[in-house]
Amino acid sequence: MNLTDQVVPQREDFFAFMNDYPADTPVAMINILKFKDKSGNGDETGQQAYLRYSKNMEPLLAKAQGKILWMGHVNQTVIGDTNNQPHMVLIVEYPSKQHFIDMSTSAEYKVIGQDREIALEYGGLLASSTINPAVE
């Protein structure tokens, strides 16, 4: 998976998610994040800009009924590209794709989301569903 220079979704990918992901089912958004050494503003690190983004996202996430399921730093790549390893992985669950769409297309997010864009070298986002291994 090559995520270089990908921070915002391509228009066609976002529309495919809107049209193809099942409605009224939870969606777990897996964020694969690599921070810039210096943010787009140049006066802070990408991680500092992302921390500000995360803090400002808390009320929007609550409004969208989203919840952080797990987050952590990537310490070492065991299988994969060890030269371009991400710094962090974050999993956020929303009750439905519509909750995520409404939040991510809101006027409030447009302002807050700028910090995400200046913070990241890449920010992969995978829309995922939970499976029950006993059934699947």
- What local confidence, expressed as pLDDT, does residue 81 receive? 83
CATH 3.40.50.10800 for domain 11-128, yes or no, is no
Q: Distance between CA atoms of 88 and 73, rounded to whole angstroms?
A: 4
Q: What is the pLDDT along the chain (136 residues), one digit of tens a residue?
A: 565 557 767 788 888 889 999 999 999 999 999 999 998 887 999 999 999 999 999 999 999 999 999 999 999 999 888 888 999 999 999 999 999 999 999 999 999 999 999 999 999 999 999 887 776 6
- What local confidence, expressed as pLDDT, does residue 135 receive? 65
Given a contact cutoff of 8 angstroms between Cβ atoms, the answer to whether 63 and 33 are in contact is: no
73 bridge partner residues: 88
Query: 49 — phi, psi (to 5°)?
Result: -65, -40
- What local confidence, expressed as pLDDT, does residue 2 receive? 60
Buried b (16+ CB within 10 A) or exposed e, 5-22: ebbeeeeeeeeebeeebe
Q: What is the pTM of this model?
A: 0.88
- For the chain, the straight-line distance linking the first and the last C-alpha, in angstroms and rounded, comes to 25
Can you give the residue ranges of every domain in the chain?
A: 11-128
Q: Which amino acid is at 50?
A: Y
| DSSP code per residue over 11-56 | HHHHHHHHHHSPTTS-EEEEEEEEE-SS-TTSSS-HHHHHHHHHHH
Query: 133 — phi, psi (to 5°)?
Result: -60, -25
